[in-house]
Amino acid sequence: MGFEEPATPPPAPIAADPALDSRLTAIAATRAAAARAFDAAADRAATRTTAARGAAVGSERWLDAQTAVAELDSLRSTHADSVGQLEELAAARAQALQPAYPALDQALDAARATAAAQTRRIDSLAAALPAG
């Protein structure tokens, strides 16, 4: 016997959760499709924003660019729905006092990073347009 702290036991292995894994796969597919749609629309918006540089506020080129940027908000919300679903799954696990589930944590981190990147892209495109 001594005064040393006992060694911390290793954490118990995480039990596989096939139902959660299936749900994560479905959300990942929806999220990937939403991200692809956003990226394609963002490329179009970037082209229209470039074309609108120097155009007068209210001109056709300016309106086309504004419309394209506004469309991105709708597409971002589609992706945000997936983020919300992942957050609900994580919250439900926490409320049930279940341990963290690495696949869920990774999916949530990736979804949040994509959402933040989408917001930055929208903000950048909107800032490139003359204020109206």
Q: With a cut of 70, say whether residue 1 has pLDDT above it.
A: no
Per-residue pLDDT of 43-100, as tens digits, reads: 999 999 999 888 888 899 999 999 999 999 999 999 999 999 999 999 999 999 999 9
pLDDT band at 132 (very low <50, low <70, confident <90, very high): low
Chain Cα centroid distance, residue 80: 6
Per-residue pLDDT of 27-41, as tens digits, reads: 999 999 999 999 999
